[in-house]
Amino acid sequence: MKKTSLNDIALHLGVSKTLVSFVLNGKGKEFRISEEICKKVLAVSKELNYQPNRIAQGLRTGRTNTIGLIIADIANPFFGILGREIEQEAAKFGYRVIFCSSDENPEKSRQQIEMLQQSQVDGYIISPPKDSEDQIRALALGNVPLVLIDRFFPEIECNQITVDNFDAAYRATNHLLRMGRKRIANITVNLDLINMNQRTEGYKQALRDSGHRVEESLIKVLPFSHENKEVAKAVKDLVTKNSQNKVDAILFSTSKLGINGIESISALGLKIPDDIAIVSFDNPDAYKICVSPVTVVNQPLKEIGKTAVQILLGEIKHPDNHAKIQKIILKTDLIIRKSCGS
Amino acid sequence: MKKTSLNDIALHLGVSKTLVSFVLNGKGKEFRISEEICKKVLAVSKELNYQPNRIAQGLRTGRTNTIGLIIADIANPFFGILGREIEQEAAKFGYRVIFCSSDENPEKSRQQIEMLQQSQVDGYIISPPKDSEDQIRALALGNVPLVLIDRFFPEIECNQITVDNFDAAYRATNHLLRMGRKRIANITVNLDLINMNQRTEGYKQALRDSGHRVEESLIKVLPFSHENKEVAKAVKDLVTKNSQNKVDAILFSTSKLGINGIESISALGLKIPDDIAIVSFDNPDAYKICVSPVTVVNQPLKEIGKTAVQILLGEIKHPDNHAKIQKIILKTDLIIRKSCGS
DNA sequence: TTGAATTACTAAATCGTTTTAGCAAAAATA
DNA sequence: TATTTTTGCTAAAACGATTTAGTAATTCAA
């Protein structure tokens, strides 16, 4: 059951495939193909269920209508929602998306970028892992449509869409202070990622601005791929009564940390917010139904995804004016629930 | 900065592109290309950073090394984890994945299948929405590598990987009965989906086998795209004191229902498991940290994803023996937490 | 009534691979 | 020495579209 090609339609009607191509691309008028023939072509193409071969089109035109997406992990709802939005917005304009999960591993992302290059994608949306500057720089210099999301590298000039992480953490920390918390910890991952770094800087600044001392021992930095027990260990050190690091609040920089953290806190028999207050970045379902619903920094995921696609498609369609690089910083909102007391 | 092609390497060395193609495909020996030339080709290809154009390869060979995936919604962690596993297993064998979220909408899935056909994907992994029989049948008859996951259509002969939903619901319901619950409801979606249907059938059979009557008014069927308040309404009818439908346990057929349901139950000021016991299908993070950690039917998502890819690649590589269709039914496990009492 | 313009189309090149068929030179065999 | 075999390579077609440059037939203008 071979697929119908342009040529099949042409043979069927005794015309050239040039003509068929013109008609099916809506250029019948432009190339003065007679009404009558146009209709016949359309009819036969429907009759034979013609489906254009996008691969052949891609080879000829150099455009595949495909974009490559590299994120940390599509199974993580944060990226799931982002990916969903990107897929949807891209589909609106006739673009498909090849999804790649890098696991924050630069070697994987290198391979994925290479694969996407070979696949001749028209552009890239990437949430770059640490130590991937070289890859990103090479892409950016290669003059390929590219948008970074969630993080970026300050020294690379490139379209990017992020949230104001510093501000978000600053406000979250301030909220904890306003609620009367005196000693606040921060559990985070991998400070080589600029977004994470900015979160911790915002946290520090809020402490300083309110006259508190920043205690490095209250900042727990875990590796990206952390296990439940590593979070448990960090939490334990921060909440047990006789620990010299005993705190009354924790700011979690990711929801994965927060979810594991809440599990640990519960396991230790402590109550939120009575024994310890918490605020977390990101807004998974889990936080709505847990013992004490969690106050969160909510990121505008839909807007990030949608804007990323729009900027990317803009670049794809007008490759010329790559002069105006866009660096978009979106605002987050703090959703106040019960985990900080009242 | 044009990309290096086979021809560029050939010109650079003064040899034919045929030769270059042979060498780079590891067929130097087979076609008796001299060691010396082989080395030179390899060297120049590295020097010019040659990246094969997979689009051109695809056009020539008819194989794109790409698979199309259609699921309900990649933002839903259930499908996120599944998608992740599929991406990972496919990558192992050099295959890329185009992700499509159908929102359980047959018209969307129709368009997506068409798009994937045009993209010349080598095979399909699909979680088919209701009313998409015709599309699936057409694919299956078209003799294209295809694997269905999560659901299927009984009347279509096709590879499929599902879990034993009947058995899972039967055991879940039995667990509730063993824990002393007398009146058990089921909140579910869209019984036109066979997996959902089987869950409710398993629930009914468990009731019958233990001498209970099946009360249709205790089975709440919501539309697939339900709002929080629709769940709230169903829950309210089942748990309020003076309702004639008052139950002491609910089996949720999806985690989306369960999460919304727990929110509603809390909002009504009721306690789990004291006032009402619950069991839910699927195992999102939320269930681990909520007021009373939820007993769940856990599906082997990784195995589903991995097996789907393996069967699909088997079909892609041996298109001939499509005679042996595989219908795999995996077991679920019931993870007992605190939501049913003790 | 001739030259120009318009109409309605087509031939052929091209994109970057793969793959078949074949060729010239060297080596082996008779 | 003549023939066959082997070695080491190449030309060209093909995949299915797009696109440029053209051409023959008709109509129009002067």
Residues 6 or more apart whose Cβ sits within 8 Å of residue A320: none
Residues 6 or more apart whose Cβ sits within 8 Å of residue A172: A202, A203, A251, A279, A281, A295, A297, A334
Confidence of residue A322 (pLDDT cuts 50, 70, 90): low
Whether residue A242 is predicted with pLDDT greater than 90 in this model: the reply is no
Distance in angstroms (rounded) separating the CA atoms of residues B216 and A14: 64
B81 touches chain A (CB under 8 A): yes
Whether residue B322 is predicted with pLDDT greater than 70 in this model: the reply is no
Whether residue B294 is predicted with pLDDT greater than 70 in this model: the reply is yes
Distance in angstroms (rounded) separating the CA atoms of residues A124 and A60: 21
What is the tens place of the pLDDT at every residue in B91-107? 999 999 999 999 999 99
CA-wise closest residue to B184 among B232, B128, B252, B96: B252
Q: What letter does residue A29 receive in the DSSP assignment?
A: T
Distance in angstroms (rounded) separating the CA atoms of residues B97 and A115: 12
CA-wise closest residue to A285 among B283, B58, B53: B283
Counting every residue written for chain B, the total comes to: 342
Phi and psi angles of residue A162, each rounded to the nearest 5 degrees, phi first: -140, 180
Omega of the bond prior to B273 within 30 degrees of 0, cis?
yes
Residues 6 or more apart whose Cβ sits within 8 Å of residue B81: A75, B301, B302, B305
Confidence of residue A320 (pLDDT cuts 50, 70, 90): confident
pLDDT number for residue B233? 95
A323 touches chain B (CB under 8 A): no
Domains of chain B, start order:
6-52 (1.10.260.40), 63-163+302-331 (3.40.50.2300), 165-299 (3.40.50.2300)
> Which residues of chain B from 102 to 141 reach within 8 Å of chain A, CB to CB?
114-115, 117-120
pLDDT > 90 in chain B, percent:
91
Query: Which residue do the tokens 């705190």 mark?
Result: A247
289-308 of chain B touching strand D, CB 7 A cut-off:
none
pLDDT number for residue B190? 85
Whether residue B323 is predicted with pLDDT greater than 70 in this model: the reply is no
Whether residue A321 is predicted with pLDDT greater than 70 in this model: the reply is no
CA-wise closest residue to B5 among B63, B61, B45: B45
CB A100 within 8 A of CB B87: yes
Whether residue A280 is predicted with pLDDT greater than 80 in this model: the reply is yes
Q: What letter does residue A336 receive in the DSSP assignment?
A: -
Whether residue B303 is predicted with pLDDT greater than 90 in this model: the reply is yes
B334 touches chain A (CB under 8 A): no
Confidence of residue A123 (pLDDT cuts 50, 70, 90): very high
Q: Please name the member of A84, A262, A288 whose beta carbon is closest to the beta carbon of B74.
A: A84
pLDDT number for residue B89? 98
Nucleotides of C under 7 A from a protein CB: 7-12, 14-21
C-alpha distance across the termini of chain B, in Å: 69
CB A232 within 8 A of CB A260: yes
Distance in angstroms (rounded) separating the CA atoms of residues A195 and B177: 49
What is the tens place of the pLDDT at every residue in A170-194? 999 999 999 999 999 999 998 789 9
**Do the chains contact at B77 and A81, CB–CB below 8 Å?**
no
What is the tens place of the pLDDT at every residue in A189-237? 987 899 999 999 999 999 999 999 999 999 999 998 888 899 999 999 9
What is the tens place of the pLDDT at every residue in A4-24? 999 999 999 999 999 999 999
B87 touches chain A (CB under 8 A): yes
What is the mean predicted confidence (pLDDT) over B29-44?
A: 95
pLDDT number for residue B320? 73
Count, in order, helices (H) and strands (E) of chain A: 13, 12
Task: Using a 7 A cutoff on CB, list residues near strand C.
Answer: A 14-19, 22, 31-34, 37, 59-60; B 2-3, 5-7, 17-18, 21-22, 24-25, 50-53, 56-57, 59-61
**Do the chains contact at B120 and A55, CB–CB below 8 Å?**
yes
What is the mean predicted confidence (pLDDT) over B316-326?
A: 81
